[in-house]
Structure formats: structure tokens, C-alpha cells
């Protein structure tokens, strides 16, 4: 069976009531108290009446597209004509629930929701938790570890990995390239860099631009237009705030060194890049003062402002610097005037030793022309086994130098997924107006993860803005995770004293509505009508019918009769009523 994601709010309020009255012999409804209401009917946190998200600065440009801060024609949650958006024509007409995103950084987002250790660390006398934060979701480039998932579940009134009580939904929303940015000294050119030179610069082993030589790949070393122009110190610029982009960059450096300690020398406190990538060490770097007796030299320069934009601003302001930022931020700071020495580098992909791809696809080398992140063909390792609450994405990695046969990227080597984190139950988490907030979070994030193959939606809206749609396998995880926000379509029924859970899904009409029953554990089922044929129009009133169907894949036999009436002309994704008769074998 192939699961097709249902459009936001297709069954909304009707689900519990209609199924409870549909004549299911022996079935009595015990629907979850919380389910998303009718599409676009949510509002936000009084008195502002909008929903907030915060976190990842890497997502800043993408979120500005999605939440309409950029006001792009035909794009965004409140502008798109896509049936899963809310532009005032879909769902509850004339209602356009507003989502605002604050790019405070991945660490700040996780901290605001109580995911960082120690659990519920007091802030201004209040414990940190989702309801107190005022955020309906948080963005992070560094996925939550098992410890952070436990913290978040407890902060949101749930319990880690306890069936029916898990709260955390980690949803991959896009791919992005992390660019290596430089501001070269006058008359000293560098356009590409080897992995060896990159890690030696960041270890503090190469401290002067003249030491960046290409070896066999001459184009990957510096070129002096004037003798001695490259005899200038290299200054490493790092993020001011705890950052998922920093995590991705350090993870890449660790893969170059294959987990070995940074710098050269003997004895402690030599540490690996894996150590520096850990959340509690995110702001630490190999420096002369912290790494004796190793050969690490120099100190890093900390950007004066938070976010990827702050990193770019610092590198642009200081000659001889090197830093890192997501491509969208890197390009935002680029100018094409004569004498501009700020740009990003092609980075060696050792799957093809003489290949030095750039992070963007628009023109290859740096320019103001936006395109996509050059991440097609990125190999993401260690995906979770199945989608669901409390999935651990912390071992997933797409930053590969190409030195391992099984971990090779087809194009740019420093790529990453970035994630939005939402909740199974906003009511259990203690949100006031939990149904409104949960409904908007559900509508918005389901719009965000809609694949471009559907012709519109969040992933299609990324095109041309220096990000990249998540690849298909990851996208399926994202869609199924997003379906569970605020209760999603989950209903519990008792059958002769035993409880079963039905997970309901549908695709855009007049194609297929999915009602999926699959054994997800004792008394938990998922079934799809997609396998039983396409709905066909029955008259001009927008009515679609399917014939009787047999379900026997999992030892469950039954018949299904679905009558679906589209509400309002052209709004075929709204459901007036749904009848289902299931006969479950003992």
C-alpha cells in the first residue's frame, strides 16, 4: 500500500461525529479529545491572534516565503491557491490564520520548548516548556537527541516512548547547503578548497592564506596577483549563538578527520570534532588557549550578532576571514561590485577528487542569482525505521566529504536537513486556545511538507530560493509525521472491550481518499482505499463514490462504502460526511 497524505482539514470536525454515527457494528467511539478543527479555522494566541514559530536561522528565508513575510505572488500559506493553504478561499472562508517565525537560532528554539538540558531550566522564574514559550512549533537544524526528546515530552505533559503519551513530532522540512564563506585579502584569490586544507584551517594548523596550496589540484590553492599578497593571517569567524548550522559544519569536519582528534601533538586535551559538535560544546572551537600542548594556533572571532546573517556580516566586515553560513544567508550578503572579496568556495567532493562543486545551482560560482541548494543526490544516513512520535533523527547526516564508499553525495558535500518540531497534543501541553493553535500548526506544517509533485504547496514554493525540496524517502516521513500534529486523524475505538486505533488519511479529490489500516502494534491499524479504485463523479454536486471493497492483507476482512460531498464549488477537499462499515474478524 502507498500512503497518500490527506489535505489539511479534510475531515476536521466531522470525523468523530460521523464515524460514531456510521453504524459500525460493535464499535463505540472514544475519539481523542483533540483533533484539528476545520481547515483554516484556527487563529492563534490572544490577543495577537497569530501563531508563532521560532528557532533555526537557516530556515529564515524559507519561513519568510512560507509565512508570507516576503509577500511573493501566489506563494506562501496565506497567498497560495493550493488547496492545502489558507488564503481566504480554502477551508473556513475569509479566515487567514497568520503564522510568524522568529529566527532566533536552533539552540534558542530547543531551549524555549524545554528540550535542552537541564530539563525545564528556569528562565525569568518560569520553567521552560512549549506552552510558556508561546510557540506553536520550533525549527532546528540539529535534530533532537534521545535526551532532548525525553525532555520535550515531559515539558509538554507527555512521556517518552510511552504509547499514546509521546508528544514530540520531528518533521524534516527542507534541504540546505552550508557554504564556506571567505573575505580574501586584496590581490589574493581563492575559489576552491580541498578538504584537507579546510579542516587544517579550522583546526588552527594553517594560519596564513599563503599556506592554502592546491597540491595536485592547482585551482584549489591561492593565487597571488601581487607578490606576498597572501601572506595575511587567516581569521576564523564563528556563530555567536548555539547553532544547528555550526553542528552540521563541525560534523562535516569530523567526517574529514574520520573521528580523529583535532590538531596535532600528544596528550590531552585533544578533542574530536564530534566532541565540539555536541550541543553542550556547540560554542567551543580548537584554540591555542584551550588546546595545549597541541599545535592548534590562534583564537576564533565570535560574530557580534546572532544567526547566519550575523556570521555573514562579520566575515564581510573583516579582511582575511573565513566562516560558514547556509547558502540563502551567504547569497543575501553578496554583492557584485568591483573589489568585492567576499564570496563562497567550491568544496572538494572526494568521491571525484578533482570535483569542487559550489553550494548553489544557479551559476556555479558566486553571484546574486538565486537557484537551488546543490544537494540533489545527497545521501542521508541513519534514517528512523518508521515515522511516528519521538523519532530520533539525531544520527541522520548528509554532510559527507566522499571518502567513504557508502557515504557519497552526488554534488555539494556539505548538505543538511532542517526540521520543524510540533506536538501530538497542544491540549496536553497546556496551551490556552489549544485547538485553534493546534489546527493552525497542523494546517501550516502540512502545507510546508506538501511535495512539489502535487503542483503547489510548501516544497514547490522553495524553488529558486537557495533551498531544496526534501528527497522522496525523507518527504514520506515528513508527511506522515505532520499528519499526527494536534491529534491529526487518530481515533480510538473499543471492540468488545479491546481498543483499536484507526489512522485516517486521504488524498486530494477527485483522486483518492485514503483510510489506512496497518498493524502498527496491538490493536492499531491503518488501511488505504487507494488500492480499491479511483473515485468517480456522480452528478454535478461534487459527490464521489467508491464501490464495496475487500480488505484482507492483514487478516482483516470488511467492506467499505464511502460517500463524499465536496462543500462549496471547487473545494473538493472538504468532506461533508463519510460512512464506513467495517466487519472485523475475531
One domain, residues 115 and 153: yes
Q: What is the phi/psi pair of residue 173, to 5°? A: -115, -15
Is there a domain that residue 249 lies in? yes
> Is residue 370 domain-resident?
no
* Digit-coded pLDDT (tens) for 48-107: 568 889 999 999 999 999 987 666 667 899 888 888 888 888 877 678 888 999 999 998
18-44: per-residue pLDDT in tens?
222 222 222 222 233 456 677 888 865
Q: Among the three residues 451, 486, 521, which one is the final residue of a domain in this structure? A: 486
Question: Cα 511 vs. chain centroid, distance in angstroms?
Answer: 28
Asked if the structure places residue 427 within a domain, the reply is yes
- Identify the helix (H) or strand (E) that includes residue 137: strand 135-140
Domain shared by 187 and 253, yes or no: yes
In angstroms, the CA 310 to CA 463 distance is 25
In the chain, the percentage of residues whose pLDDT exceeds 70 is 68
Q: Is residue 116 part of a domain?
A: yes
- The residue range of the domain holding 553 is 1-35+489-586
- Are both 299 and 246 inside the same structural domain? yes
> Looking at residue 292, what is its pLDDT?
55
Q: How many residues does the chain have?
A: 586
- In-domain check, residue 471: yes
Please tell me the total count of domains within the chain. 3
pLDDT band at 373 (very low <50, low <70, confident <90, very high): very high
Residue 453 covered by a domain: yes
Query: Where is the domain boundary, 486, 518, 542?
Result: 486
Taking Cα atoms as reference points, which of 99, 87, 86, 101 lies closest to residue 38? 86
Instruction: Give pTM, 2 decimals.
Output: 0.76
**pLDDT tens digits, one per residue of 481-503:** 998 898 654 333 333 333 333 33
Which residues face 72 on adjacent strands? none
Asked if 288 and 200 sit in the same domain, the reply is: yes
Measuring CA to CA, how many Å separate 110 from each of 134, 221, 401, 441? Answer: 13, 39, 28, 17
Residue 585's CB is within 10 A of a number of other CB atoms, namely 8
Angle between the 472-482 and 434-448 helix axes, to the nearest 10 degrees?
170
The predicted-structure confidence for 158-180, as pLDDT tens digits, reads as follows 999 887 789 999 999 999 999 99
Give the model confidence (pLDDT) of 449-481 as tens digits: 999 988 888 999 999 999 999 999 899 899 989
Residue 223 placed within a domain? yes
What are the distances in angstroms from CA 358 to CA 169, 179, 212, 257, 462?
33, 8, 18, 21, 19
Residue 5 belongs to some domain of the structure: yes
Residue 429 has pLDDT above 70, yes or no: yes
CATH of the domain at 126: 3.40.190.10
Could you tell me if 6 and 59 lie in one domain? no
Q: What is the distance between the alpha carbons of residues 414 and 453, in angstroms, rounded to a whole number?
A: 26
Cα–Cα distance for residue pair 54/52, rounded to 1 Å: 7
Amino acid at each position: 500500500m502507498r500512503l497518500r497524505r490527506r489535505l489539511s482539514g479534510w475531515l476536521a470536525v466531522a470525523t468523530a461525529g460521523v464515524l460514531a454515527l456510521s453504524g459500525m457494528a460493535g464499535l463505540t467511539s472514544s475519539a481523542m479529545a483533540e483533533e484539528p478543527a476545520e481547515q483554516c479555522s484556527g487563529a492563534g494566541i490572544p490577543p495577537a491572534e497569530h501563531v508563532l514559530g521560532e528557532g533555526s536561522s537557516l530556515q529564515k528565508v524559507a519561513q519568510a516565503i512560507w509565512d508570507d513575510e516576503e509577500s511573493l505572488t501566489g506563494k506562501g500559506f496565506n497567498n497560495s491557491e493550493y488547496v492545502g493553504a489558507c488564503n481566504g478561499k480554502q477551508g473556513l472562508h475569509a479566515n487567514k490564520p497568520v503564522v510568524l517565525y522568529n529566527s532566533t537560532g536552533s539552540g534558542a528554539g530547543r531551549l524555549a520548548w524545554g528540550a535542552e538540558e537541564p530539563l525545564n531550566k528556569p528562565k525569568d522564574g518560569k520553567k521552560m516548556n512549549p506552552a510558556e514559550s508561546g510557540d506553536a512549533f520550533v525549527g532546528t537544524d540539529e535534530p533532537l537527541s534521545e535526551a532532548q526528546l525525553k525532555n520535550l515530552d515531559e515539558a509538554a505533559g507527555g512521556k517518552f516512548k510511552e504509547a499514546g503519551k509521546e508528544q514530540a513530532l520531528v518533521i524534516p522540512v527542507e534541504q540546505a547547503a552550508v557554504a564556506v564563506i571567505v573575505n580574501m585579502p586584496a590581490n589574493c584569490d581563492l575559489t576552491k578548497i580541498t578538504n584537507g586544507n579546510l579542516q587544517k584551517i579550522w583546526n588552527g594548523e594553517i594560519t596564513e592564506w599563503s599556506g592554502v596550496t592546491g597540491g595536485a589540484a592547482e585551482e584549489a590553492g591561492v593565487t597571488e596577483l601581487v607578490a606576498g599578497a597572501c601572506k595575511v593571517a587567516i581569521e576564523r569567524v564563528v556563530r555567536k549563538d548555539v547553532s544547528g548550522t555550526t553542528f552540521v559544519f563541525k560534523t562535516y569536519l569530523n567526517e574529514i578527520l574520520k573521528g580523529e582528534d583535532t590538531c596535532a601533538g600528544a596528550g590531552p586535551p585533544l578533542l574530536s570534532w564530534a566532541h565540539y559538535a555536541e550541543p553542550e560544546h556547540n560554542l567551543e572551537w580548537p584554540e591555542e588557549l584551550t588546546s595545549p600542548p597541541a599545535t592548534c594556533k590562534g583564537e576564533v572571532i565570535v560574530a557580534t550578532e546572532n544567526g547566519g546573517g550575523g556570521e555573514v556580516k562579520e566575515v564581510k566586515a573583516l579582511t582575511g576571514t573565513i566562516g560558514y553560513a547556509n547558502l540563502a544567508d551567504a547569497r543575501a550578503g553578496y554583492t557584485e561590485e568591483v573589489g568585492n572579496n567576499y564570496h563562497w568556495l567550491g568544496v572538494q567532493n572526494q568521491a571525484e577528487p578533482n570535483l569542487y562543486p559550489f553550494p548553489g545551482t544557479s551559476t556555479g560560482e558566486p553571484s546574486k542569482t538565486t537557484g537551488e541548494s546543490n544537494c540533489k543526490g545527497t545521501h542521508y544516513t541513519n534514517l528512523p525505521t518508521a515515522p511516528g512520535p519521538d523519532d530520533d533523527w539525531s544520527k541522520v547526516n548528509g554532510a559527507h566529504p566522499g571518502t567513504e564508499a557508502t557515504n557519497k553525495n552526488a554534488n555539494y558535500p556539505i548538505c543538511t536537513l532542517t526540521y520543524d518540531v510540533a506536538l501530538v497534543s497542544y491540549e496536553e501541553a497546556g496551551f490556552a486556545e489549544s485547538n485553534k493553535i493546534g489546527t493552525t500548526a497542523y494546517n501550516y506544517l502540512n502545507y510546508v511538507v506538501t511535495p512539489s509533485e502535487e503542483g503547489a504547496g510548501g516544497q514547490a514554493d522553495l524553488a529558486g530560493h537557495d533551498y531544496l525540496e526534501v528527497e522522496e524517502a525523507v518527504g514520506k516521513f515528513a508527511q506522515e509525521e505532520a499528519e499526527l500534529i494536534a491529534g491529526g486523524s487518530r481515533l480510538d475505538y473499543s471492540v468488545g472491550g479491546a481498543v483499536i486505533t484507526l489512522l485516517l488519511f486521504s488524498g486530494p479529490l477527485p483522486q483518492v481518499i485514503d483510510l489506512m489500516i496497518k498493524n502498527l502494534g496491538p490493536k492499531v491499524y491503518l488501511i488505504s482505499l487507494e488500492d480499491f479504485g479511483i473515485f468517480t463523479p456522480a452528478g454535478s454536486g461534487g459527490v464521489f463514490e467508491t464501490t464495496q471493497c475487500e480488505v484482507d492483507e492483514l487478516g482483516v476482512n470488511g467492506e467499505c462504502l464511502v460517500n463524499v460531498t465536496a462543500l462549496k464549488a471547487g473545494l473538493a477537499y472538504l468532506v461533508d460526511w463519510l460512512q464506513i462499515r467495517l466487519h472485523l474478524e475475531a
